[in-house]
Amino acid sequence: MNCRQDSSWTPFVEQLPSVDRRWLDVHNRLHRNREAWHGECAGQAIGVHWCSVAEPDATAIELLLGLGEEGDASAIRLHLPTPALHVLGVPVALDVQTLPGAMLLELALLSLIEPLEHLTGQTLHLIDRTDPTHAVLAAQPCPLHLATRVELGGSSMPVALHLSAKAGEQIAQWLDQHALPAPHALTDLRLWLAVEAGEAELSVDELYSLNPGDVVMLDPWPTAQVRLLLNQRLYARAGQDGTTLKLLETPMCVNFPKEFSVSEAPTMNEAPDGRSLDSCLDELPLKLVCQAGSVELTLAQLRELGEGSLLSFTEQRQDSVDLMVNGRRVGQGQLVKIGPGLGVRVLSITTS
């Protein structure tokens, strides 16, 4: 079966949104999950929820704002839903693109603008885009986008900001400083860490030959020490005292190098020396791992682990371990001492 695909084939390329790599870092900072901001606007409570995925209001009007002092201001294009005008006490029929309309709207937003200016140290003002003195500001490209959901006057409405590169960087910086990260829902996600008490290298053929009662010598392992492993990616050593584990280090990420890249992987039909594929597979190295139990933690608890942390784990039975190969249970064993080292007696084994 040939699973290779034409390198020029790109599905749905015409429909995919385009993201400029130059703005990727700022875009991700703007879209971090943050606590909602609450304040006051036009005498009413207002709440701003960041990173909304709500569809923009097709009836929204676009307002041009200048962030910073005149002559050095950066452009913000605010897409304000028309229902917001009614809540703010601004006549919907008023042309807010003109100077009088912009001044009236800015007056309605003054109770919101002034605290923001005080907090950031920057001026924020509505711009009359028809004024030729603001032509340079009006022509600034706005490659960055931030969608919010605003609760005002008992209504919830999407409000979108299109930002120039400079404005986007400034707003991302202010959000990092003043908008607390929101607790992620996945903090309650429960994870299981395997408690491994020893391992041995076996070939496929040696694994097939194991029978109940056989004893396998395990690789050298420090006394009363186990290894915690999560999905073959997160690793930590721990000292064991009964069913209590004491971490000897902060859990760290580990990478398992790949033998080949996908594009360079050889096609295995016959061994180079003429032997059959079947005989070569019998010699493939496997790692037999003795799993003594597991530790269940939430993602939030896992983030807090460090050197010296104490954990209670569930063990199978005293000295009893699960025999694992490639993350799958293939049998059960019992830890035994072999001279100064450690071994495992096979109690049951399945090779099917």
Which pLDDT tens digit goes with each residue over 166-193? Answer: 999 999 999 999 888 887 767 778 888 9
Q: What is the mean pLDDT of residues 223-242?
A: 87
Residues 134 and 226 in one domain: no
Question: Hey, what are 103's tokens?
Answer: 């001044």
The average pLDDT across 66-92 equals: 86
What value does the CA radius of gyration of the chain take, rounded to a whole number of Å? 31
Q: How far apart are the first and last CA of the chain?
A: 25
In a domain, 16, yes or no: no
Question: Can you say how many angstroms the Cα of residue 255 is from the centroid of all Cα atoms in its chain?
Answer: 18
Of 148, 182, 216, which residue sits at a domain end? 182
> Could you tell me which residues come within 8 angstroms of residue 220 by beta carbon, excluding any fewer than 6 positions away?
341
126 or 51, higher pLDDT: 126
198 dihedral zone (left: phi>0; alpha: psi -120 to 50; beta): left
Q: How far apart are CA 39 and CA 122, in angstroms?
A: 18
Q: Are 162 and 76 in contact (CB under 8 A)?
A: yes
Q: Are 89 and 155 contained in the same domain?
A: yes
DSSP-derived letter for residue 185 is G
Q: What's the whole-number average pLDDT of the chain?
A: 82
Residue 122's Cβ-side half-sphere holds a number of Cα atoms within 13 Å equal to: 17
Report pLDDT for 258: 39
Sequence-separated (6 or more) residues with CB below 8 Å from residue 349: 210, 211, 212, 323, 330, 331
Domain boundary among the residues 151, 182, 213 is at: 182
Mean pLDDT, residues 221-241 taken together? 87
Q: What is the pLDDT of residue 21?
A: 84
Residues 167 and 309 in one domain: no
**Considering its fold, how many domains does the chain have in total?**
2
Which residues lie across from 37 on neighbouring strands? 48
Residues 175 and 296 in one domain: no
Q: Is the pLDDT of residue 79 over 80?
A: yes
The answer to whether the CB of 341 falls within 8 A of the CB of 218 is yes
Q: How far apart are CA 205 and CA 226, in angstroms?
A: 28
> Contact, 40 vs 108, CB < 8 A?
no
* 316: pLDDT strictly greater than 90: no
Structure tokens at 42: 């036009």
Residues 6+ apart with CB under 8 A from 183: none
In a domain, 36, yes or no: yes
- Could you give the CA distance from residue 196 to residue 302 in angstroms, rounded to a whole number? 18
**Higher pLDDT, residue 273 or 112:** 112
The winner for highest mean pLDDT among 29-43, 126-140, 323-337 is 323-337
Answer whether residue 86 shows pLDDT above 50: yes
| Same domain membership, residue 344 and residue 200 | yes
Res 10: pLDDT: 53
158 with 56: CB under 8 angstroms? yes
Q: What is the pLDDT of residues 245-262, one digit of tens each?
A: 999 988 888 764 433 333
167 and 86 belong to one structural domain: yes
Q: Where residue 139 sits, what CATH number does that domain have? A: 3.40.1550
Looking at the structure, tell me whether residues 48 and 143 fall in a common domain.
Answer: yes
User: Over 80: is that where the pLDDT of 164 sits?
Assistant: yes
The verdict on 128 and 218 lying in the same domain is: no
Would you say residue 194 lies in a domain? yes
Q: Is residue 229 in some structural domain? A: yes
Reported as a single tens digit per residue, the pLDDT across 328-346 is 899 999 999 988 888 999 9
Q: Are residues 162 and 235 in the same domain?
A: no
Domain limit, last residue, from 123, 148, 182: 182
**What does the pLDDT look like over 282-311, one tens digit per residue?**
778 889 999 988 899 988 888 888 888 888
155 in the same domain as 72: yes
Does residue 215 lie within any of the structural domains?
Answer: yes
For residue 126, list its beta bridge partners.
65
Helices assigned H by DSSP within the chain: 24-30, 82-87, 99-108, 110-120, 135-138, 165-178, 204-209, 277-282, 299-303
- 263 domain residue, yes or no: no
List the domain range (segments joined by +) for residue 197: 187-255+282-349
Q: Is residue 264 part of a domain?
A: no
193 is written with which tokens?
Answer: 């860490």
Do residue 95 and residue 199 come from a single domain? no
The answer as to whether 52 is a domain residue is: yes
Reduced to 3 states, what is the DSSP secondary structure of residue 87? helix
Query: How confident is residue 274, by pLDDT bands cut at 50, 70 and 90?
Result: low
> Do 192 and 175 share a domain, yes or no?
no
> Residues 321-325: what's their mean pLDDT?
93
